[in-house]
Amino acid sequence: MKAQVSVVSVILISGIVISLVGASFMWGMPMVTKRTVVTEYTSAEAFIKKVNDVIIDIANTGAGSETLEIPVGSIKVTPEGVEDPDRNSISLDIITDQPMIFNASKIYLGGAGFEDVTSEVGVYGEASPGVITLSTATVSTGYGISLNIHYRELDTKTSPLKGYKIVLTTDSGGIETGAGKMTISFDKTYTSGTAQNGGPLVVTEIKVSI
């Protein structure tokens, strides 16, 4: 219950902060600029949630491919197999003329379910593999907004113990960035290693091409 309340609080806080900051920067700014920033942000958030839905659907189906138009900004894919703090994640990065939130660090936006979203292991059947977060920073050309989906392991709590994980791959095997379009495709499913609960780990590889 404690974890559930904290996550609900974060969701509420993130919504309030976005609304307040969105309202505060309206003062003194041209209406066209205000609408453009809000439109870019809402378009980016809707898109990253769509990407998460597509990846999970393809992983669950065990087949398929879908190409999506990237509406704003650029996509960065950090596959599981690289040494990087953001490995096994996808981020959509945009630059705006005005800030939505100042210096935010990984505000939870959804996708995981009501449990500890900071954990690398969720409960299979209760949580989602994709955790969506928002980060912002001031950059030389404006204000940066990064929407990130990180994929983690989901483990069963009862016998037979087993773990499941979506693993992102790219055409090069390394970090890739791009704009325009992205294609999400099923690659393969196999058992590899041991899950955190001690059972076998079932890995589903999803290739993201930009």
Q: 9 Cβ partners below 8 Å, 6+ apart?
A: none
Residue 7 and residue 115 in contact, taking contact as beta carbons nearer than 8 Å: yes
pLDDT at 106: 75
Confidence label for 111 from pLDDT (cuts 50, 70 and 90): low
pLDDT at 104: 66
pLDDT at 15: 53
Domain boundaries, the chain: 2-209
Task: Extract the runs of DSSP E, i.e. beta strands, from the chain.
Answer: 65-69, 74-78, 89-96, 107-110, 121-123, 130-139, 142-151, 153-155, 163-169, 176-178, 181-194, 200-209
Confidence label for 11 from pLDDT (cuts 50, 70 and 90): very low
Q: Per-residue pLDDT tens for 112-168?
A: 554 566 789 999 988 889 999 888 888 888 888 899 999 999 999 999 999 999 999
pLDDT at 41: 84
Mean pLDDT of 81-93: 95
Q: Indicate whether 68 pLDDT > 50.
A: yes
Whether the full predicted model's pTM is greater than 0.85, yes or no, is: no
